Structure 1
Amino acid sequence: MSDPSLTIDNILAPELTLCRVPASSKKRVLEFIAERIHHQDETLNDTDIFTNLVSRERLGSTGIGQGIAIPHCRLEGLDRVIGVLMTLDEPVDFDAIDNQPVDLVFALVVPKEATSEHLELLSQLAEKFNDSGFCEQLRQCTDAESLHRSMMSASQ
């Protein structure tokens, strides 16, 4: 099942790139991610996605520091990897490792059995978000289109 073409630019749909999302809490951010994925593909149950994201957060926060979170989970019956990129209107507390509130979120939902791909994508994301200039560029975006474009150009 290993797929070398599995990179950030082919898992992030423009419809799942959202700019300045109003979210008051970590729970609301995760609910919003689940709702958006369901909205884009109604065969996927938003409650299942939300429950899996929350279960993963219970193992340890996906807030990686510097205002960035990469919530992720596996989903039974999923046949592809789904990415959701969001900037938040206001930073929210995400129990991040550096205790900084989060305003940049990239969620990853992967098929139940995709282990190596999952880890590979997480490491690609962590590497990108390690670049503070790139993160700043994403934070400056004022609409979903420019946010998606910035993410894509960085993935080339």
Structure 2
Amino acid sequence: MNANFHLLPEAVATAGADSKSGVLSEVARLFASVYGVDETAILDGLEEREALGSTGFGRGVAIPHARSAAVSRPTVVLLRLDHAVDFAAADGMPVDLVFGLISPENAGATHLHALAAISRLVRDDAMHEALSEAPDTQALYALITNQLDRDAA
């Protein structure tokens, strides 16, 4: 698959979180259940990063991210929220698509490449709309992997 980050089909989920902290908890829980990392450590990392400034990317998307020795390459989860949540994004729009990203502690450029790949994906209007309207998590996963495979070609 894509060289910029690792995403498993079961790491794509829907969630009913109703606050920013609830969203971060769901992201950490999904990382723990799918990739076997420590949920508390991941949540602590995400909250520390969020304290520096919102990871609300804009246009209804957030990319909460952190570093962890528990992963060997940038690793992603995707949550589509049942209803939009205020994430203090720069554009003021509430968030309903959340890409969680955990990168190795020493992954400087690799981490930035993964963030850039996600931001390119969601800046594309047609892709953004398709992600918002996908009928289920399998369709979300297929959209992302197909687009990333096209970008890599």
So what's the TM-score if we normalise by structure 2? 0.92
Q: Identify the match of residue 131 of structure 1 among 114, 120, 124.
A: 124
Provide the secondary structure at the position in 2 that maps to 1:15: helix
Count of aligned pairs between the two proteins = 148
Superposed CA RMSD: 1.2
Q: List runs of 5+ in structure 1 lacking aligned partners.
A: none
Gapped regions of structure 2 (runs ≥ 5):
none
Q: Residue 12 of structure 1 aligns to a residue in which SS? A: coil
Identity %: 36
SS at match of 2:17: coil
Superposition pairs of residues 27-38 of structure 1, within 5 angstroms: 27-38=21-32
- For residue 40 of structure 1, give the secondary structure of its aligned residue in structure 2: helix
TM-superposed CA distance for 1:82, in Å, is 1.3
Q: Answer 1 or 2: which has greater strand percent.
A: 1
Conserved 8 A contact 1:6-1:117: no
Tell me which of the two structures has the higher relative contact order, counting C-alpha pairs closer than 8 angstroms and 6 or more residues apart.
Answer: 1
Query: Which of residues 103, 109, 113 in structure 2 aligns to 1:110?
Result: 103
The SS at the match of 2:118 is: helix
Write the deviation string for residues 43-99 of structure 1: whole angstroms up to 9, x where unpaired: x21000001001001111110111011110001343232100111100000010011
The structure 2 residue matched to 1:7, chosen from 4, 20, 33, is 4
Cα deviation, 1:86-138, whole Å, max 9, x if unaligned, reads 11100000010011100011110011111110001111111111112111100
In the alignment, which of 122, 139, 143 is matched to residue 150 of structure 1? 143
TM-score by length of 1: 0.90
In 1, the alpha carbon distance for the partners of 2:79 and 2:124 equals 17
| 2: CA distance, partners of 1:80 / 1:47 | 20
Structure 1 segments (4+ residues) deviating >6 Å: none
